[in-house]
Amino acid sequence: MTHITVVGGGFAGLVAAITCAEAGARVTLLEAHRTLGGRARATRPPYVAHDGPHVLYRDGPWWRWLAARDLLGPYAGLSPRAVAGFRFRYGGRFRRTPPAVLLRVLADRRATAPVDRSFSDWVRSRHGERAALAASGLMGVATFDAAPGRLSAAFVWPRLLRVFAPNPPARYLTGGWNGLVDRLAAHARARGVAIETGARVTALPEPPVVVATTLDAAGPLIGTGLPHVESGRTVLLDLAVRSRRGDAFAVSDLDAAGWLERYTLPDPGLAPPGESLVQAQMPIRDGESHAGARARLEVLADRALPGWRDRVTWRRDGVAHRRTGALDLPGTTWRDRPAVPQGDGVFLAGDMVAAPGLLSEVSFHSAVAAAEGALAGARRRENRF
């Protein structure tokens, strides 16, 4: 029986391991941490906080793959109460509805965005400067970048259309990512995958091997320099506050690409009864300190959650740097990122490699491609012998 090693126990590693095991391979998964999950690893109850948004999109193949294996678990969509709780910061003011200039962009759904132009330049040519600035700010939630408008129009536009569709496909898995990680791990073990945690890998295992780590960790392991890939840089603020009527559900900061969301509205179990769990992010500008970005983020929280400082029951501050997935600049696509097949039976998987998709979907696509490549390579070796 073919043996395949997977290094890394996040979404990409678990999906790759399951895909290989379902094809009949013997699989060992090695994870350096004591717990699985990678960047999907969340804090444990009573406050379940994540590193950034934790939604799945039911219009994508990652969702269908999980559903086919009964791994989704319970989930919730956007309720009318949640939709009514949306707020927008635009021109320094808070409002309940998006500005008209942004609505014109959102209505232009049949347009096809070019690869070789920036998103801002492309939107500006169609709808004007104010629309370009607002649409750029809107996409901070999906890019973690202070200036999403600088990215390729072909990268940003499809993501905007999915995230802000008329019937939003975003779904919140009850309990957050921890539950999904646990279900993936249980499914992998049931298919015979040997999972070893606390197993730090310092030398590349015998191929075929899937390296499902960050690129910074993968490069030294496979012994090659991997090209630089753009990624976001943002400060994160997790808050648990005593609930108060009138708190916003979500705030999109169109002026600064920030975002704030009260995750206990669709999933009350993320915090104790009577409390709200909120996560906010503010992308860090060029030359700006973490403290400066955090101060701007707290101003956003002041407007979204009046009096939050006197209501806080738990707080966590963080910074996400090169941990938010790949961003494609004008003239590049996902195909220009580090390839999944690295040669000699080595394959990369994760959210920074050459695979399509929105947020965690990149990890899923690359994991399946890496697993299929490892299986095909193993079969070729067997046939030679």
Same domain membership, residue 189 and residue 67: yes
Q: Percentage of the chain surpassing pLDDT 70?
A: 99
Same domain membership, residue 238 and residue 202: no
Handedness of CA 164, 269, 72, 281 (dihedral sign): positive
Same domain membership, residue 179 and residue 127: no
Q: Which of 166, 187, 213 is the last residue of a domain?
A: 166
Same domain membership, residue 209 and residue 271: no
CA angle 207, 209, 215 (to 5 degrees): 130
Go through 15-43 and write b for each residue having 16 or more CB atoms within 10 A of its CB, e for each that does not: bbbbbbbbbebebbbbbbeeebbbbbbbb
Residue 84 lies in a domain: no
Q: Which of 141, 166, 191 is the last residue of a domain?
A: 166
Q: Which of 327, 347, 372 is the last residue of a domain?
A: 327
The CATH number assigned to the domain holding 219 equals: 3.50.50.60
- Distance from C-alpha of 84 to C-alpha of 2, rounded to nearest angstrom: 54
- Lowest mean per-residue pLDDT among 131-135, 273-277, 311-315, 323-327: 323-327
Query: Is residue 381 over pLDDT 80?
Result: no
Quote the number of domains for the chain: 3
Name the region of 37 (left: φ>0; alpha: ψ -120 to 50; beta: rest). Answer: left
For residue 225, the model assigns a pLDDT of 86
Q: What is the pLDDT of residues 19-59, one digit of tens each?
A: 999 999 999 999 999 999 999 999 999 999 998 778 999 99
Same domain membership, residue 178 and residue 35: yes
Asked if residue 72 lies in contact with residue 61, where contact means CB atoms within 8 angstroms, the answer is: no
Asked if residue 57 lies in contact with residue 169, where contact means CB atoms within 8 angstroms, the answer is: yes
The residue-averaged pLDDT of 355-363 equals 95
For residue 53, the model assigns a pLDDT of 79
Q: What is the pLDDT of residues 237-257, one digit of tens each?
A: 999 999 999 899 999 999 999
Same domain membership, residue 185 and residue 68: yes
Calculate helix-pair angle for 119-127, 153-163, nearest 10 degrees: 70
| C-alpha separations of 319 from 94, 148, 203, 272 in Å | 26, 18, 29, 25
For residue 384, the model assigns a pLDDT of 66
Residue 190 lies in a domain: yes
Instruction: Give the residue numbers spanning the domain of 218.
Output: 3-75+174-229+337-384
Same domain membership, residue 246 and residue 365: no
Q: What is the pLDDT of residues 265-290, one digit of tens each?
A: 999 999 999 999 999 999 999 999 99
What predicted TM-score, i.e. pTM, was given to this entire model?
0.95
Q: What is the pLDDT of residues 135-171, one digit of tens each?
A: 999 999 999 999 999 999 999 999 999 999 999 999 9
